[in-house]
Amino acid sequence: MKRAVQSFSALFRRNLKLYFKDPMTFFVSLITPIILLVLFITFLRSNYEQTILRIIGDFTIEKKLLDGFTGGWLFSSVLATSCITVSFCSGVMIVDKINNADTDFLVTPVPRYLLQLSYCLANLVSTLIVCFALLSIGLIYLAIVGFYLTLADVLLVIVDVLLTSAFASMLANLIWSFTRSQGVNSGICTLVSALYGFICGAYMPIASMGEGVQNFTALLPGTYSTVLFRRYFLEGALKEMEGSLPLPLVEGIRDGFDVNFYFFGMEVPMYASYLIVAGAAILMLLLFVLVSILQGRRTRK
């Protein structure tokens, strides 16, 4: 057991060090979502502000509250996608496989599942470091434009970052378990970066999509993670709105901006969203461990 812990620790530290040894890797991982946030703020913020103003009609709303709400919505979009895309684009496992560096570990007396888990944990930790750095930047941004989060909201956002990143890391490493191809990896990375934001409702509210697409997104665990981010980034601002706007209007904003989410017409409670995201992460972990053990029993054909 002590030997297994020592081996796992060595592999984990090596994987993490390898990722952060190149400062550009961390920088690019962080700068990409920041650029996305800047683009969102530049091009989309006024659209969402107009949408809210249209919903409230003749009622008025404080500028700071409006900015705090739209800022929270845009930043929750970026954070929801980053937890996934950073995982998929920062894997040491696939880089090792492409370079054949994993062969050097396969000829050591370390069970394959330990090697695979070390890749997965390093991927998760590197994703969390990038996402927490991003979260800090986002909270600073919200503090400037309008901050309506409670401490509990921030802590629950952190829990959601942990769960979503864990799900993404398990899924990414599970996929990499079956390929050694640079082309396949680039394809997956591009596909996830381009698609995920749309299909999990991060780039545009799910409520504004067609019914078929809404039903499809309801089947993806990532959607529930996005909904959780929406909830904790926006609920404070919505509560504040309840002081100056009629409740049906605020409820309309909740529905229109995915703070309330419906599964085939039924409202999904928050605990259910947590269970779905946590369940998906646990399912991925079990699948990943199972595949690693099975692959460890078989040498390459």
> Applying CB under 8 A, which residues contact another protein?
3, 6-7, 9-11, 13-14, 17-18, 21-22, 99-101, 103-111, 298-301
Choose between 105 and 274: whose C-beta lies nearer to another protein.
105
Query: How many angstroms separate the CA atoms of 156 and 225, rounded?
Result: 11
* 8 Å CB contact between 142 and 66: no
In a 10 Å sphere around its CB, with 0-12 CB exposed, 13-18 middle and 19+ buried, how is residue 270 labelled? middle
Q: How many residues does the chain have?
A: 301
Closest distance to another protein from the beta carbon of 106 (Å): 6
Choose between 54 and 301: whose C-beta lies nearer to another protein.
301
Closest distance to another protein from the beta carbon of 192 (Å): 25
Ordered DSSP codes for 20-60: HHSHHHHHHHHHHHHHHHHHHHHHTHHHHHHHHHHHHTT--
Choose between 125 and 220: whose C-beta lies nearer to another protein.
125
Choose between 105 and 132: whose C-beta lies nearer to another protein.
105
Closest distance to another protein from the beta carbon of 175 (Å): 22
Find all residues with CB under 8 Å of 88, minimum gap 6, and list them: 168, 172, 188, 189, 192, 193
Choose between 13 and 63: whose C-beta lies nearer to another protein.
13
Choose between 26 and 147: whose C-beta lies nearer to another protein.
26
Other beta carbons within 10 angstroms of residue 5's beta carbon come to 10
Choose between 21 and 54: whose C-beta lies nearer to another protein.
21
Q: What is the dihedral of CA 8, 11, 12, 14, to 10 degrees?
A: 160
> What φ, ψ does residue 247 adopt, rounded to 5°?
-55, -40
Print burial letters for 120-141: b (CB count within 10 Å at least 16), e (below 16).
bbbbbbbbbbbbeebbebbbeb
Query: How many angstroms separate the CA atoms of 272 and 169, rounded?
Result: 22
